[in-house]
Chains A and B, each alone.
Chain A
Amino acid sequence: MITAERKPMEEILECINPYNRILLVGCNECVTVCAAGGRKEVGLLSTALQMAFMKEGRTLEVKEITLERQCDPEYVEELITYIDQVEAVLSMACGCGVQEIARRYATKPVFPAVNTKFMGASERQGVWSERCRGCGDCLLGLTGGICPIARCSKRLMNGPCGGSTKGKCEISPDVDCAWNLIWERLKALGLEKKYEEIMVAKDWRPSWHGGPRRIIREDMAE
């Protein structure tokens, strides 16, 4: 999933300070799962914002709505009913959702209430960690199902570097050394030999270095 974390209250308040009526839009997908911008967080943020305004002797009208998917034009269309009644939109979706609202409602200011973080998985209750960078050319088949692009701090494709210590990365004892994980996994699979195959310089064109990316499915596109 795409993970996100709510922005600090001061930053959100600064964005919406000029307005008295806002639309606060959550998303029922990833940000709900990672407890950053679902229906529940929309309710909490709405209350907190209104209280902050009250403290300054102001009133903030908040229309709360949580869309099924904020990155999908079909659902973003639902905001049409409310958009003219507000001065600005505050989105609790990932950056994709924020941009979809900006695209659809060209004259309405929209602000992000969360920082979009990474594509990750749930490690345990309340902990998510990065798993994928979307490099566009998946090499997990070569690395035992553990991604060095997303999980090695130096993105080494032929690691581990000289800083790997007791299974941890040199940058922090809280970070697993991805290459240690890869090695353990290759051993478990009986694929130790695979380690010595050099992974050649990556072609970054399918990734973010090739410019903004699109997928066009000829069989589906109209």
Chain B
Amino acid sequence: MKTDSVVEKVLKSGQLVVTSECGPPRGANPDKVREKAEMLRGYVDGVNVTDNQTAMVRMSSLSACIIIKQMGMDPILQMVCRDRNRLAMQSEVLGAYAHGINTMLCLSGDHIHFGDHPMATNVYDLDSVQAIQMVKKMRDEGKFQGGADIDTPPKMFIGAAANPFADPFELRVARLAKKVKAGVDFIQTQCIYNMEKFETWMKGVCERGLHKQVAILPGITPMKTVGMAKYMKNRVPGMDVPDEIVKRMGGVPKEQQAEEGMKIAVEQIQRLREVEGVAGFHIMAIEWEQKVPELVERAGLLPRPKF
């Protein structure tokens, strides 16, 4: 074992990992974090805490992670390259580990253009691949990116994101290979709706043996309404929502759409768990966290292992 991460332990045990996420509030109320995290207790192995998601200012990921850790749960620290240089990133990794946070995600981050401070500066001292290299070096070599020794290195289980649907598609396996080469331990993907395309990508991943070096957790996001399906199809960069999904959501009365969305998500999980290389699921129920337990249960992912 490289770390004490529950995600690593579940993977090691050969079981499917289940993670979900908790977006910190746009304010300083810690109870908002507690409420969202509490809903997930016992249903997931790790709770991603987003980092100024969509480039909107929120309570810091680290602070919300600490709150969740104090609840006896297992937060996953998300860290974007957009807002911090390598000094700030490394100090945050040390601080997180000092608080018992041992799992994190290295991300480029949504461009500032999309958020509520489009006038701010983009940092991007590093990109996500370089961030993975940095955290790995801190863990395995006990050295800072700049080369100096670390007294008590942070043993982080290192995650990253992948979007199998972004263009150019032919580059998507190669980009994952770069993250693997950099030292990533697990991957959470963009929300999957186009099953065939995901399976094509996964096949490419397996052909190169990458699934043996990195755990891949497809992203699952249940749709609430047909409006959400259309929005994700047309407005979210890098999202691939096939017409059948939109049609299926629109094909039922409004009051049944949420249930239809849940059904689709359950079917997706059942189909994907059979795909070679799939090591678990990352459930992103956007502003719908209360549905995660039901989805995990209906998809047959309970009980979660205890360590």
Contact = CB atoms under 8 A, between A and B. Distances in A.
A192 to B, nearest CB: 8
Contact of A201 (B110, B113, B130, B177): B130
A118 to B, nearest CB: 15
A16 to B, nearest CB: 28
Contacts of A177: 167
Interface in B85-131: 86, 108-111, 113-114, 122, 124-130
A109 B53 CA distance: 45
Contacts of A167: 167-168
Contacts of A179: 171
B122 A158 contact: no
Contacts of A195: 171, 174
B272 interface: no
Interface residues of B, number: 36
A122 interface: no
A9 interface: no
Contact of A164 (B126, B128, B167, B181): B167
A201 B126 contact: yes
B19 interface: no
Contacts of A196: 174, 177-178, 181
A89 to B, nearest CB: 30
Interface in A153-188: 153-167, 170-171, 177, 179-180, 183
Nearest to B126: A201
Determine the main DSSP class of A at the interface with B.
loop
A170 B238 contact: yes
A interface bracket (residues with beta carbon within 8 Å of B): 20 to 34
B149 to A, nearest CB: 18
A208 interface: no
Contact of A157 (B114, B127, B145, B190): B127
Contacts of A201: 86, 125-126, 130, 133-134, 145
Contacts of B195: none
Contact of B129 (A154, A158, A163, A204): A158
Interface stretch (B10-18, B68-76, B158-166, B296-304): B158-166
B67 interface: no
B139 interface: no
Nearest to B81: A154
A215 interface: no
A44 interface: no
A198 interface: yes
Contacts of B129: 157-158, 198-199
Given A153-B113, A155-B122, A160-B171, A200 B163 contact: no
B57 interface: no
A165 B113 contact: no
Given A154-B111, A158-B129, A160-B175, 19 more contacts: A153-B122, A155-B122, A156-B127, A158-B130, A158-B175, A160-B166, A162-B163, A162-B238, A163-B110, A163-B166, A164-B167, A165-B166, A170-B237, A179-B171, A180-B167, A195-B174, A198-B133, A198-B178, A201-B126
5 contacts: A155-B127, A158-B175, A160-B167, A162-B166, A201-B125
Interface of B: 81-82, 86, 108-111, 113-114, 122, 124-130, 133-134, 145, 161-163, 166-168, 171, 174-175, 177-178, 181-182, 190, 237-238
